[in-house]
Amino acid sequence: MHIHILGICGTFMGGVALLAQKMGHQVTGSDQNVYPPMSTQLEEQGIVLMSGYSAGNLKQKPDLVVIGNALSRGNPEVEAVLDENIPYTSGAQWLSDFLLKDRWVLAVAGTHGKTTTSSMLAWILESSGHETGFLIGGIPMNFGVSSRFGNSPFFVVEADEYDTAFFDKRSKFVHYRPKTVALNNLEFDHADIFDDLDAIKRQFHHFVRTVPSSGCIVVPEQDENIEAVLSMGCWTPVEKTALGESDVAVAWRADIQSADASLFELFHHGTSVGTVNWALSGKHNVSNALSAIAMANHAGISPQQAIAALHSFQNVKRRLETRAKLNGITLYDDFAHHPTAIATTLEGLRGRVGTERIIAILEPRSNTMRMGVHKETLGQSLNLADEALIYQPEALDWSLDTVKKQSDCKVSIFTNIDDIVRHLVDTSRSGDHFLFMSNGGFGGIHKQVEEALQKA
Q: Which DSSP string corresponds to 248-279?
A: S--SEEEEE-STTS-EEEEEETTEEEEEEE-S
Query: Global pTM?
Result: 0.84
Q: Which amino acid is residue 348, in one-letter code?
A: G
Question: d(Cα 5, Cα 15) in Å, to the nearest integer?
Answer: 11
pLDDT at residue 191, as a whole number: 63
Per-residue pLDDT, 389: 94
Can you tell me the distance from the alpha carbon of 247 to that of 242, in angstroms, rounded to the nearest whole number?
10
Do β-strands 238-243 and 216-220 pair in parallel, antiparallel, or remain unpaired?
parallel
**φ, ψ (nearest 5 deg) of residue 447:** -65, -40
The amino acid at 397? D
Strands 321-326 and 329-334 come out as antiparallel
CB count, 10 Å around CB of 387?
Answer: 19
Dump the DSSP string for 323-384: EEEETTEEEEEE---SHHHHHHHHHHHHHHHTTS-EEEEE---SHHHHTTTTTTTHHHHTTT
Domains of the chain (ranges plus CATH)? 2-90 (3.40.50.720), 102-310 (3.40.1190.10), 321-455 (3.90.190.20)
Rounded Cα–Cα distance for residues 204 and 199 (Å):
9
Contacts of 195 (CB under 8 A, 6+ apart): none
375 CB neighbour count, 10 Å cutoff: 19
Note whether 148 and 157 are within 8 A (CB).
no
Look up residue 109 and give its DSSP letter: E
pLDDT at 318: 81
CA distances from 124 to 271, 303, 388 (A): 21, 10, 36
pLDDT of res. 244: 86
Q: Reading across the β-sheet that carries 321-326, which strands appear in turn?
A: 321-326, 329-334, 433-437, 358-362, 387-391, 410-414
For the chain, the farthest-separated pair of C-alpha atoms sits apart, in whole angstroms, at: 63
3-state SS class at 161: coil
Contacts of 88 (CB under 8 A, 6+ apart): 64, 65, 66, 67, 81
Per-residue tens of pLDDT for the chain, all 456 residues: 999 999 998 888 999 999 999 999 999 999 997 767 678 878 888 898 999 999 999 999 999 999 999 999 999 999 999 999 999 999 999 999 999 989 999 999 998 889 999 999 999 999 999 999 999 988 899 998 889 999 999 999 999 998 999 999 999 999 999 999 999 989 877 767 778 889 999 999 999 999 999 999 999 998 999 999 999 999 999 999 999 887 778 999 999 999 889 999 999 999 999 999 999 988 989 999 999 999 999 999 999 999 999 999 998 878 888 888 998 999 999 887 788 888 888 988 998 899 999 999 999 887 777 767 777 788 888 999 999 999 988 777 777 878 887 888 889 899 899 999 999 999 999 999 999 989 877 888 988 998 888 887
HSE-up of residue 119 (Cα within 13 Å, Cβ side): 25
CA distances from 426 to 93, 333, 369, 436 (A): 50, 20, 29, 17
pLDDT at position 192: 73
**Which residues, other chains included, contact 420 with Cβ-Cβ below 8 Å and sequence gap of 6+?**
361, 389, 391, 414, 445
Distance CA 56, CA 76 (A): 9
Q: Residue 14: enclosing H or E segment and its boundaries?
A: helix 11-22
Q: Are strands 321-326 and 133-135 parallel, antiparallel or unpaired?
A: unpaired
Please state the separation of Cα 166 from the chain's center in Å: 22
